[in-house]
Amino acid sequence: RSGAALTAQSPYVLSLSTVSKVGRRYINQDVRITRTGKPILTVSGGRSSLGGYTATVFGATGFLGRYIVNRLARSGCTVVVPYREEMTKRHLKVAGDLGRVIFIEMDLRNTPSIEESVRHSDIVYNLIGRDYPTKNFSLQDVHVEGTERIVEAVAKYDIDRYVHVSSYNAHPEHPAEFFRTKGLGERVAREIYPETTIVRPAPMFGFEDRLLNRLANAANVITSNHLQEVIRPVHVIDVASGLENMLHDDTTTAQTFELYGPTEYSMRELNEIVEKETLKKRRHINLPEKIARPLFKYLNKALWWPVRSEPEVEREFYNQVVDENAKTFRDLEIEPVELNTLTYQYLKGYRSEAYYDLPPMTEKERREEKKYLHVLD
Ligand code: NDP
């Protein structure tokens, strides 16, 4: 419906006419209606756009979180960011205009803090997840019980939309603990709030990923499955765009989406791409599962920084299986990008300083004939 017709008595009409008087005719106003009939006024105007929606993003401090918060806040939505640690959320403040990004301290076991985070929102995204158990939270605590508390709050406050980010291969009976708890989380979400939109991303790559960076960072690549695992890596920005589209498209309600990249890669192929881009050759060590699992279980408890964990070793033995019944990027009108078109951009920082693309900057450097190897790409 057209914004002008709907807002005949709206106070915003005044402000729009004032705006057009000063000549900013490019400002575009529209009214959207949410699933439950709530009118949402949107005004496009650069960084000061009004997105109209209020969205809560649980897990916004993580890798995917920053991209979805950025997209929502820059389109003028009010984004509520529940956080646990002051320092982990600072970068999100500047994603939108002043007052667009709101922080609320939250604990996954503290129901009032969860309710406080969701009660004013039109949509709730749940991105909370962990690859490894920590001393306070098992995978079951994070993926199942945490989800349950969040979805109960969503149902209690009758929030319009709930988007649950799960994982590829998620299934309640999967032999691997990570995929199993993710599957159980999906089931709990659908039981409490049947309109839940489930999103299962494939392993994601991007600047802060744990896929290419982990391979590139390693002095020796340590695996247990001879790098045989087959996955369909997806660009994190494509997944974030998909999540943003879901806000504007109510037909995605109660649907399951599997978001994966266009090409299948084995970990060996990915490792070769990483070696080619970083111009480094590393040793590959294959630790048998029987040794790797107890070893990483122990290390993960003894060390206080994230190291490889037992569930991650377990996950190596399962290829990504695509659910043919689930919807994909095509249904969101997004064309996912190819991994190999972006690996140079993401991995060039790992190249040795011996390789640089610029000619000598000073006369002194030129005289000293500082090594100028070749221009890359
Ligand atoms: P990250 O690990 O980067 O971020 C996880 C987020 O969850 C962080 O904001 C973290 O908060 C929060 N979190 C974890 N445990 C708790 C807890 N006990 N209480 C409160 N908050 C918690 O994940 P990604 O951004 O990479 O992934 C987003 C989602 O997608 C996750 O659910 C993940 O399992 C899933 N996924 C990711 C894939 C990938 O390749 N990255 C592949 C498949 C699925 P804090 O910063 O405070 O720790």
User: Does residue 96 or residue 372 have the better pLDDT?
Assistant: 96
Distance in angstroms (rounded) separating the CA atoms of residues 201 and 324: 14
pLDDT at res. 12: 46
Strand partners, 81: 103
| Residue 130 vs residues 113, 248, 367: alpha-carbon distances, Å | 20, 28, 53
ipTM: 0.99
* Beta carbons within 10 angstroms of residue 161's beta carbon: 24
Read off φ and ψ for residue 369, nearest 5 degrees. 50, 50
Task: Name the residue with tokens 């991994």.
Answer: 339
Distance in angstroms (rounded) separating the CA atoms of residues 217 and 212: 8
Ligand 1 proximal residues by C-beta, below 6 Å: 59, 61-65, 84-85, 88, 108, 127-130, 137, 142, 165, 167-168, 201, 203-204, 210
Distance in angstroms (rounded) separating the CA atoms of residues 229 and 138: 25
pLDDT digits (tens, 9 = 90+) for 166-193: 999 999 999 999 999 999 999 999 999 9
Q: Is the pLDDT of residue 14 over 90?
A: no
Task: Specify the ligand 1 atom closest to the Cα of 85.
Answer: 47
Chain-centroid distance of CA 329 in Å reads: 15
Q: What is the mean pLDDT of the chain?
A: 89
The SS3 assignment for 49 reads coil
- pTM exceeding 0.90: no
Distance in angstroms (rounded) separating the CA atoms of residues 55 and 22: 32
pLDDT at res. 8: 43
Q: How many helices (H) and strands (E) does the chain have?
A: 14, 15
Q: Is the pLDDT of residue 123 over 80?
A: yes
For residue 157, how far is its CA from the centre of ligand 1 (angstroms)? 24
Q: Which of 85, 204, 229, 238 has most ligand 1 atoms within 8 Å of CB, for mutation?
A: 204
User: Does residue 11 or residue 109 have the better pLDDT?
Assistant: 109
pLDDT at res. 364: 67
pLDDT digits (tens, 9 = 90+) for 307-322: 889 999 999 999 999 9
pLDDT at res. 47: 81
Give residue 50's pLDDT band: very low, low, confident or very high (50, 70, 90): confident
pLDDT digits (tens, 9 = 90+) for 265-292: 999 999 999 999 998 888 999 999 999 9
pLDDT at res. 44: 83
What are the tokens at 315? 């996950």
Read off φ and ψ for residue 360, nearest 5 degrees. -55, 135
pLDDT digits (tens, 9 = 90+) for 192-222: 999 999 999 999 999 999 999 999 998 899 9
The one-character DSSP state at 206 is: S
For residue 129, how far is its CA from the centre of ligand 1 (angstroms)? 4
| Residue 101 vs residues 69, 78, 80, 267: alpha-carbon distances, Å | 8, 6, 6, 38
- For ligand 1, atom 9, the nearest C-alpha belongs to 59
pLDDT digits (tens, 9 = 90+) for 231-256: 999 999 999 999 999 999 999 999 99
pLDDT at res. 218: 87
User: Does residue 1 or residue 113 have the better pLDDT?
Assistant: 113
Task: Name the residue with tokens 């649950």.
Answer: 164
User: Does residue 376 or residue 257 have the better pLDDT?
Assistant: 257
For residue 260, how far is its CA from the centre of ligand 1 (angstroms)? 18
Q: Is the pLDDT of residue 45 over 50?
A: yes
Handedness of CA 278, 281, 282, 286 (dihedral sign): positive
pLDDT at res. 164: 98
Q: Is the pLDDT of residue 135 over 90?
A: no
The listed range with the strongest mean pLDDT (2-11, 224-233, 350-359) is 224-233
- For ligand 1, atom 28, the nearest C-alpha belongs to 127
- For ligand 1, atom 26, the nearest C-alpha belongs to 63
pLDDT digits (tens, 9 = 90+) for 81-92: 999 999 999 999
Strand partners, 256: 198
Chain-centroid distance of CA 132 in Å reads: 17
For residue 59, how far is its CA from the centre of ligand 1 (angstroms)? 6
pLDDT at res. 153: 98
Task: Name the residue with tokens 């399962």.
Answer: 318
pLDDT at res. 375: 53
Beta carbons within 8 Å of 173's beta carbon, 6+ residues apart: 180, 183
Burial degree of 14 (CB within 10 A; 0-12, 13-18, 19+): exposed
Distance in angstroms (rounded) separating the CA atoms of residues 210 and 218: 12
* Beta carbons within 10 angstroms of residue 324's beta carbon: 7
Task: Specify the ligand 1 atom closest to the Cα of 129.
Answer: 32
Q: Is the pLDDT of residue 9 over 50?
A: no
Task: Name the residue with tokens 């009032």.
Answer: 112
